[in-house]
Structure 1
Amino acid sequence: MANRDFAVDVAAYQPTSMSTYKHAGARQVIVKLTEGTGYFNPKASAQIKSAHTHHMYVHGYHFATFGNSASRAKAEAKFFVTCAKKLNVSKKRYLWLDWEAGDGNVIINSTYSNTKAILAFMKVCHDAGYKVGLYSGAYVLRQYVDTAKIIKKHGTCLWIASYTTMGRIDNPDFNYFPSMEGVAMWQFTDNWCGLNVDGNITLKELIADTAKSPAKKVAKPKPKAKTPSICYVPILYGNPNYKVRLLDSAGHYQKYINTNTSWKIWDEKTIRGMKCYKIGTDTQWIPAKYVKEV
């Protein structure tokens, strides 16, 4: 399945039907489920049902209000997970943390304390069996979060917001991609296709089935013919002065050797379509047709 999927993220501001987004080309939906420890999106259930009706993949997100408090982060995460379970969000999908300024979420704290709180939130979701990711603007993540720690713990899991211009954008312009390590998805507009919904493009596979496929039976290789240990170069064409020219491993012709001589064989390979024996260095390969095995 291709890594590049269009996805929309929806909240109570968007309609309950996902039909328009599906027809515009979106294959995935990230539905806002919760905020803080008390708000639940009243449209979430209907939005998820509509997404499934239109054969779209569903993830969930939570808007943070915990700032840099690890204890509040854990409480919000538990609330988020409880709601995700009630809505039957598949554990093959992602639970995203939306950590940005707004609704009382203070981000101007130390990078260390911010990152610690974010990781505390993500751990609760991860321990509940979900895939996890972190959303915010590119500037916020660069200035206030140690994303290297996030990536080290959870892999490629960043969902980055960065717009080339405000207003309608239908397709992402990767000339303006916010190059950062660990980016799983890029939110490139807040007005995708003129539908007044955020437009996102995935950069990694987010919807792969985690079920293990049955192990494939691998045919055992046929035993390789045993290479003789000694070979003899007989007199050829009745001429004791006739010599045989050697090749190197790349197929370039090298020096000549006398006939009526014996050599130890070190290896065997096909060169220029001929079976050859290595009788010295890598520049000393003799075609097998000129020798007798002893």
Structure 2
Amino acid sequence: MARTYAVDVATYQPSNLTSYHSHGAKDVLVKVSEGTGYFNPKASAQIKSAHDNHMYVHGYHFALFGNSVSQAKAEAKFFVHRAEYLNISKKRYLPLDWETGDGNVITGSKYSNTKAILAFMKVVSDAGYKVMLYSSASLMRTAIDTEKVVRKYGTCLWVAAYPYSGATYKPDFNYFPSMNGVALWQFTDNWCGLNVDGNISLINLHHDAVAKKKVVAEKTAKKSEPKVIGIAYAPIINGDPKWSIKLIDDKGHYKKDEYIPTNSNWKVFATKTLKGMKCYKLGTNQWAPAKFFKMK
């Protein structure tokens, strides 16, 4: 299961995001737009800084449509237009921020709120982007039919729930807001004392990077052409095709941001016990725990 830090920024945060990256943030969610007329004037600079720091960039929209389907569609079109203008990759997420504030009405029925939210998400999804829904844990439980959202778009909830106030450096999962479909948890509004929201991912937010790592591993193996001792199959873990297996180096340390997908076959070049675990060598300095595989 993925565990990476992400920050979300708006005009209240600086244009230079270097400090967030230096504290360990891998992803940034930049506020792109609000309603049908406002866009973040710092978005271009924040996105450029994120790219300069090799961070993954996603964008979000602050809703003002309440439970109006027609207004939701209009806001979604405005959002997509701005995201395309900012050249946000369609490999990334465009979350909807639906909460109280700036006149957004949250007092509609759970049915009507959810209908409007899904109408917004459909426009964004149809434009080719990955979608996500942000709100507080309390609103998700009382004002939104999150089960309906998850059935439509899978693990896509971005939940805000702060167990305590003040500078927070890492999430305390004893206070995790348990519910189905959580992809991202906003666990503080003052991460590392930097006055920025801190989030932790529960899914891999960038599978394309995993695919690139896999290609690199395959190319490396082909260059050296070592002897293959068998073929191992990595079945789906816990019934979730989005799970991936983290690779280990030849010293037994887990490698940073290197995973392989499940439901895939791998050449095995050697076996070795690392940190008390039987492991299979899948490439140059690339090992994985044997417990996740079945030898063919």
Please give the TM-score of this superposition, normalised by the length of structure 2. 0.71
Partner in structure 2 of residue 279 of structure 1 = none
The aligned counterpart of 1:192 is 191
Secondary structure of 1:9 counterpart = strand
- Aligned-partner Cα distance in 2 for 1:158–1:137: 10
Give 1:133's aligned residue.
132
CA distance in 2, matches of 1:168, 1:33: 26
CA-atom RMSD in angstroms: 1.7
1:147-166 per-residue CA deviation (whole Å, 9 max, x = no partner) reads: 00000000000000000111
Q: Is 1:124 matched with 2:128?
A: no
Distance 2:133 2:167 in 1: 25
Superposed CA deviations along residues 6-53 of structure 1, whole A, max 9, x for unmatched, are 000000000000100000110000000000000000000000000000
Report how far residue 69 of structure 1 moved: 0.2
Which residue is equivalent to 2:106?
107
Q: In structure 2, how many angstroms separate the alpha carbons of the residues matched to 1:112 and 1:163?
A: 27
The amino acid across from 2:3 in the alignment is: R
Superposition deviation, residue 167 in structure 1: 1.1
Counterparts of 1:57-136 in structure 2 under 5 Å? 57-136=56-135
Counterpart secondary structure, 1:133: strand
Larger Rg: 1
Q: Which amino acid aligns with 2:155?
A: T
Cross-structure match for 2:292: none
Letter in 2 for 1:176: Y
- For 2:128, the aligned partner's letter is G
- Separation (CA, whole Å) in 2 of partners of 1:53 and 1:98: 26
SS in 2 for 1:209: helix
Distance in 1, Cα, partners of 2:206 & 2:36: 28
Counterpart residue number, 1:240: none
Paired-residue identity, %: 68
The AA in structure 2 aligned to 1:16 is: S
Aligned pairs, how many? 216
Q: Tell me the amino acid that sits aligned with residue 158 of structure 1.
A: L
Deviations 1:110-158, CA, capped at 9 Å, x for gaps: 0000000000000000000000000000000100000000000000000
1:205 aligns with 2:204: yes
**Distance in 2 between residues matched to 1:133 and 1:145, nearest whole Å:** 14
Alignment of 1:1-294 (within 5 A): 3-209=2-208
Superposition misfits of 4+ residues, deviation over 4 angstroms: 210-214
Whole-Å separation in 2 of the counterparts to 1:198 and 1:43: 17
* 3-state secondary structure, aligned to 1:29: strand
Task: Please give the alpha-carbon distance, in whole angstroms, between the structure 1 residues aligned to 2:107 and 2:208.
Answer: 38
Deviation for aligned residue 1:208: 1.1
**Structure 1 unaligned spans of 5+:** 222-294
Displacement of 1:207 in angstroms is 1.0
1:229 alignment counterpart: none
Q: Which amino acid aligns with 1:137?
A: S
